[in-house]
Structure 1
Amino acid sequence: MATITKENIGLLHEKLSVTIEKNDYLPSFDKALKTYSKQANIPGFRKGMVPAGLIKKMYGASLFTDEVLKTIDKELNAYLQSGQVEIFAQPLPLEADFKSIDVNNPQDYTFNFEVGLKPEFTLPDLGSASITGYKVTVTDAMLDEEVERLQNRFADTKEETAVTGEDNVLTLAFTESDEKGNAVEGGVTSNQVYVTKYFNEATRTALQSKAVNDTITIQLKAAFEDKELASVLEDLKISEQEGAADKFFTLTINKIGSKIKKELNQDFFDQLYPNQEVKTEEDLRAKIKAEIEAYWKSQSSNQIQDQIFHQLTDHTTIEFPETFLKKWLQQQGTEEGAAPKTDEQVEQEFPGFLKQLKWSLISEKITKDQAIDVKPEEVRQFALNQLFSYMSGMGGGMNLEDQPWVKEYVDKMMKDRKYVEDAFMRLQTQKMFDWAETQVKPVEQEISVEDFTKMVQEHQHAHH
């Protein structure tokens, strides 16, 4: 009968000794010999009629070793799965004397493994944590800006005969030329659409009163500011060419358009919010304000969750079997043929590895203590919501619920193991933070959108 003993060899670091007796592996070895005898194809013998003695002589040593190691592995896994110990990663085998495994001399065998034990720890009391709930102030200026943005976004387009202002939309044919406007043989040609204000001030002035079919010759670096110039070079596909910004182009105006900003009337309200009670500009502003507030409330929730994360990681003390973990980290990839990591590589990677491991343990404890689970139908709905969000972003206004290809798409995603695992982890993490938010008592603080954005950016910069 197999036995397993353990011996402490360091902080949360133990040696497991697995001992098996002859009766633990000999029956399976004899069975393996018989199976091999039936399947072996050896010249001079009919298949299935090879004597067991010959099979043992030819293949017994390797089959014997396999069965001994399989039995050791089976007993070790059964012990670990019994819940008597909770370990990190996989056991690491200690040095073993494989020469002692002799098919002609069956005996009891002992193999040693080292394991890193998962620690016990206590989470901080989230109810007493100092958490700030930021409430972004939605100002009249923000509402004015959003109303105007919507008016311009849904603006009607009107064709013009001449350039009249910086908001004209110009359809332009670019032809590479010299500074006098003579086309360069084999030069770059391209059609682009730019708003007049995309050009710098001097070029905008030169464009004024130009009509359809008129031309203007420009040098790229003299016609655009640096920020716009980089994009223009990309558009013309010459960004990698040496001296690209020095090139001259003759621009032919093929079309001039202007946008007519939407009026604040019932047609526009219905276009923005069909079948909703938006009858006046005040109704529109109230609707937009609610949407802006909802957006910043979600951003504030993200900030609360970030504070919870730091509260949990900064105020939870966890001891780790560092000696074992460094040894385990060093061996990663060796089974695929990679060389073990050097001591220097391990020391460099270890702080980040330990930080990630700490969060994994905290997450694991919360999900276990709070019985947080994710059901398959929730993963399926997650995939469906992702698809709807994508189609909405692409401008799809159709009712997707009844489309037969939607079910086929979701069925396909549910068969993608990596996708399902990633979706499961995202949903589980969200549920964990949803629970954590119910435990904290945020102190509300009014903040401007500028200060909130600056705070988030500074925080992200500090943690990267």
Structure 2
Amino acid sequence: MATISREQIAPLHERIKVTVSPSDYNPAYESALKKYVKNANIPGFRKGMVPTGVVKKMYGAAVFTEEVLRNIENELMQYLQTENIAYLGQPLPEDNNDPAQINHAEPKDYTFSFELGLKPNFTIPDIGKAKTTLNVVDATTEMVNEEVDRLCQRLGKLTEPASVTNEEDILNVSFQKSDAKGVVEEGVEKKENSLLLKYFSAATQKELMGKKKDEQIVLQIGKAFEEKERDWLAKDLGLDKDNKDDLKQHFVMQITKIGFVEKRSLDEAFFKEAIPAKEITTEEAFRDEIKTQIEGYWKHQAQHMLEHEIFHLLSEETKMEFPEDFLKKWLLKSGEKEQSPEAIEKDFPNFLNQLRWTLVSNEIGTQQSLQVSREEIMDSLRQQLMGYFGSMNLGGNMDWLESYVERMMGDKQQVESAYQRVFSSKVLAWAASQAKPTEKKLTAEEFQKLSEKHQH
């Protein structure tokens, strides 16, 4: 029977020595030799009739070494399981372990040592006593009006006016760098864009009024656009929005197409197209449904932000120690891709944060018996695909979608990733249900700024 001993290297960092004797590994060695004898194809001998001595001479050393090491590993893992030892990563063979010492011609006791990192004990904070906030955004009349207007616009009829007449006109334009007089050097690239007239400054809107297709003006990005639109347009044109000289650059802007969307009337046909799942016949009922949808959206966003806050609470406030030297060594030796000690050191704080969350979430999952079903994994993959193709009309391609999900279920990495998404979502949902947050009213703009801050 194997002899196993433990000694502490540092807190949560131990050395385990496993000693096996001939009586531990010889039965497996003899069994392995018999299999070789039975299956060996050696010239001059019929299959299965090769003498044991010949097989032992040809393969004995390798088989002996393999069976001794296998026996040591089995004894170690059985010991960890029997003693219910909770550990991090995997046991690491120490550098002084030398398989070359194993000699099949001289069966004896062999001792190999391993380093082991132990899981820390920790207490999960009482979420009900923690200070948390539920940021609430009320659905205002203005929000409802904006959404109704957006739907009327999106489902409206696109026309092509002869000239620019309305701030809602859609201008397809091209930009070319020029001088102040609109002279463009030969070979200067044209950059296409599509802009609403209302994106331009008041002075530029006035200048564009009455212009027709193929007409052009000379402008400076810094003066011609409202600030919000100026920033993203500058980026599209390869300019630095914070560089004053870039914003003074002149461009020739030519109108290549003029469009205008005739908004839909608020009638039953529109209600049916905008919200096909509901039987809506009046404007009042339509606006009530829009308000309900907006309230649902902001409720979901508030819950998501609360869960984000709780994630940081659990990740950062759950105190635990780690066997850091062991973990760095384990990352260096056992990583899927080779990393330098410098790279491991640089990323180590992030690794510890992820490890802390893994331990906390697994503990909550165990305590609350949280399970993830195959159907939940498939639904997560389905939602992931719908996110990729959300802007496309899949129409009758739902069969294709289901077929693709089934293929993804055969990808271990995809399944594990989906499992973790669903499991973490369940952990955070449970944790949020234990919180007693203080409700705080915010405007949509305030909520958005806070959300951007949370996303770092």
Normalising by structure 1, report the TM-score.
0.81
Range moving further from structure 2, 19-28 or 307-316: 307-316
Aligned equivalent of 2:27: 27
CA positional deviation for 1:273: 2.5
Aligned equivalent of 2:402: 407
Question: Please, which of 419, 422, 427 is the counterpart of residue 422 of structure 2?
Answer: 427
Kindly indicate whether the alpha-carbon contact (under 8 Å) linking 2:222 and 2:230 is maintained by their aligned counterparts in 1.
no
Kindly indicate whether the alpha-carbon contact (under 8 Å) linking 2:175 and 2:251 is maintained by their aligned counterparts in 1.
no
Kindly indicate whether the alpha-carbon contact (under 8 Å) linking 1:379 and 1:420 is maintained by their aligned counterparts in 2.
yes
Question: Please, which of 360, 364, 384 is the counterpart of residue 366 of structure 1?
Answer: 364
Change (3 A) 1:419 1:22: same
Q: How far apart are the structure 2 equivalents of 1:134 and 1:319?
A: 33
Q: How far apart are the structure 1 equivalents of 2:112 and 2:197?
A: 78
Q: Please give the secondary structure, in 1, of the residue aligned with 2:299.
A: helix
CA positional deviation for 1:295: 1.1
Change (3 A) 1:9 1:386: closer
Q: Deviations over 1:315-349 (max 9, x none)?
A: 4222322332233234344x86x47525xx55433
Aligned equivalent of 2:243: none
Aligned equivalent of 1:276: 278
CA positional deviation for 1:218: 4.0
Kindly report the root-mean-square deviation, in angstroms, between the aligned alpha carbons of the 2 structures.
3.7
Q: How far apart are the structure 2 equivalents of 1:222 and 1:385?
A: 41
2:73 aligned with 1:73, yes or no? Answer: yes
Change (3 A) 1:106 1:340: farther
Q: How far apart are the structure 2 equivalents of 1:135 and 1:186?
A: 54
Question: Please, which of 322, 325, 334 is the counterpart of residue 323 of structure 1?
Answer: 325
CA positional deviation for 1:190: 7.4
2:398 aligned with 1:396, yes or no? Answer: no
Q: Gaps spanning 5+ residues in structure 2: where? A: 241-245
Aligned pairs (5 A) from 1:21-420 = 21-40=21-40, 42=42, 48-82=48-82, 84-94=84-94, 95-171=96-172, 193-198=194-199, 204-212=205-213, 215-216=215-216, 218=218, 225=225, 251=254, 255-274=257-276, 276-333=278-335, 338=338, 341-342=341-342, 345-387=343-385, 393-394=390-391, 396=393, 398=395, 403-420=398-415
Q: How far apart are the structure 2 equivalents of 1:163 and 1:266?
A: 32
Kindly indicate whether the alpha-carbon contact (under 8 Å) linking 1:220 and 1:229 is maintained by their aligned counterparts in 2.
no
Residue 110 of structure 2 aligns with an amino acid whose one-letter code is: Y
CA positional deviation for 1:172: 5.3
Kindly indicate whether the alpha-carbon contact (under 8 Å) linking 1:4 and 1:16 is maintained by their aligned counterparts in 2.
yes
Q: How far apart are the structure 1 equivalents of 2:35 and 2:392?
A: 63
Range moving further from structure 2, 292-301 or 444-453: 444-453
CA positional deviation for 1:125: 2.0
Q: Please give the secondary structure, in 2, of the residue aligned with 1:331.
A: helix
Change (3 A) 1:63 1:365: same
Q: Please give the secondary structure, in 2, of the residue aligned with 1:77.
A: helix
Kindly indicate whether the alpha-carbon contact (under 8 Å) linking 1:19 and 1:110 is maintained by their aligned counterparts in 2.
yes
Q: Deviations over 1:81-139 (max 9, x none)?
A: 33521111111112224343211110121211121111232222222222222221333
Aligned equivalent of 2:18: 18
Kindly indicate whether the alpha-carbon contact (under 8 Å) linking 2:136 and 2:442 is maintained by their aligned counterparts in 1.
yes
Q: Please give the secondary structure, in 2, of the residue aligned with 1:111.
A: strand
CA positional deviation for 1:426: 1.0
Change (3 A) 1:44 1:340: farther
Q: How far apart are the structure 2 equivalents of 1:275 and 1:58?
A: 75
Q: Gaps spanning 5+ residues in structure 1: where? A: none
Kindly indicate whether the alpha-carbon contact (under 8 Å) linking 1:91 and 1:114 is maintained by their aligned counterparts in 2.
yes
CA positional deviation for 1:413: 2.0
Kindly indicate whether the alpha-carbon contact (under 8 Å) linking 1:180 and 1:217 is maintained by their aligned counterparts in 2.
no
Q: Deviations over 1:339-376 (max 9, x none)?
A: 7525xx55433332222211111111000111101111
Q: How far apart are the structure 1 equivalents of 2:203 and 2:42?
A: 91
Residue 436 of structure 1 aligns with an amino acid whose one-letter code is: A
Residue 115 of structure 2 aligns with an amino acid whose one-letter code is: E
Kindly indicate whether the alpha-carbon contact (under 8 Å) linking 2:144 and 2:291 is maintained by their aligned counterparts in 1.
yes
Q: Please give the secondary structure, in 2, of the residue aligned with 1:211.
A: coil
Change (3 A) 1:437 1:254: closer
2:427 aligned with 1:445, yes or no? Answer: no
Change (3 A) 1:305 1:212: closer
Q: Please give the secondary structure, in 2, of the residue aligned with 1:144.
A: helix
Range moving further from structure 2, 442-451 or 359-368: 442-451
CA positional deviation for 1:249: 5.3
Q: Deviations over 1:280-304 (max 9, x none)?
A: 4433332222111111111111222
Q: How far apart are the structure 1 equivalents of 2:316 and 2:233?
A: 47
Q: How far apart are the structure 2 equivalents of 1:224 and 1:323?
A: 59
Percentage of matched positions with identical amino acids: 42
CA positional deviation for 1:191: 6.7
Change (3 A) 1:277 1:71: same
Aligned residues: 449
Q: Please give the secondary structure, in 1, of the residue aligned with 2:212.
A: coil
Q: How far apart are the structure 2 equivalents of 1:119 and 1:181?
A: 70
Residue 410 of structure 1 aligns with an amino acid whose one-letter code is: V
Range moving further from structure 2, 24-33 or 366-375: 24-33
Q: Please give the secondary structure, in 2, of the residue aligned with 1:88.
A: strand
